[in-house]
């Protein structure tokens, strides 16, 4: 079993830890009794508020883990099944995959970048469309090659 996490997960964890350190520094400065009390209050407030935002984003990204097993692939929420977005994890058994295809999507370079949409056509007629861009180019290639090679 192999797990793939988003590239943003690590950055959000680091940002949340930095915000936690800023709050801690603000608390230490407040108890140190410095004359300028506005600085520790500002550090505590800004570090706390940004820390809550970064930590909640970290938890959201952490839940987007893609899991590949020998007999199934568990896609995170946001996969498209027959054209409708599903907001829960999608489990696809590898033996149920009939064919696979990838479609290049040109991004606008402002909001979105170039990426591939991968469509898995199951033997029962269902199509599952996912993007693997968030996991990085190396992981995207590895995931797609593993799925393609396991189809009989």
Is residue 60 within 8 A of residue 83, CB to CB? The reply is no
User: Cα(75)–Cα(86) distance, rounded to whole angstroms?
Assistant: 11
Coil/strand/helix, residue 116: strand
Report the alpha-carbon distance of residue 41 to residue 26 in Å, rounded: 7
Condensed to tens digits (0 to 9), the pLDDT of residues 104-137 reads: 988 887 887 888 999 999 999 899 999 888 898 8
For residue 149, the model assigns a pLDDT of 86
The pLDDT score that the predictor gives to residue 40 is 93
| pLDDT tens digits for range 30-85 | 998 888 889 999 999 999 999 999 999 999 999 889 999 888 999 998 889 998 99
- Vertex 129 angle, CA 61 and 122, to 5°: 125
Tell me what pLDDT residue 70 has: 86
Q: Are 144 and 13 in contact (CB under 8 A)?
A: no
Closest among 58, 53, 51 to 10, alpha carbons compared = 58
Longest dimension (CA), the chain: 73
Total-model pTM: 0.76
CB-based contacts of 86, cutoff 8 Å, min separation 6: 77, 78, 79, 80
Model confidence at 152: pLDDT above 80: no
The mean pLDDT value for 24-31 works out to 94
In terms of average pLDDT, the best of 44-53, 82-91, 92-101 is 44-53
């Amino acid at each position: 079993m192999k797990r793939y996490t988003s590239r943003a997960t690590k950055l959000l964890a680091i940002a949340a830890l930095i915000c936690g350190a800023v709050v801690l520094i603000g608390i230490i400065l407040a108890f140190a009794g410095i004359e300028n009390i506005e600085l520790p209050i500002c550090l505590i407030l800004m570090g706390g508020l940004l820390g809550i935002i970064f930590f909640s984003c970290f938890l959201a990204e952490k839940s987007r883990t893609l899991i590949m097993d020998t007999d199934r692939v568990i896609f995170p929420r946001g996969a498209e099944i027959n054209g409708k977005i599903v907001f829960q994890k999608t489990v696809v058994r590898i033996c149920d995959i009939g064919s696979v295809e990838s479609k290049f999507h040109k991004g606008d370079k402002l909001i979105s970048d170039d990426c591939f949409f991968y469509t898995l056509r199951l033997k029962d007629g269902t199509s599952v469309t996912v993007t693997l861009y968030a996991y990085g180019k190396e992981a995207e290639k590895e995931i797609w090659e593993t799925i393609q090679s396991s189809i009989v």
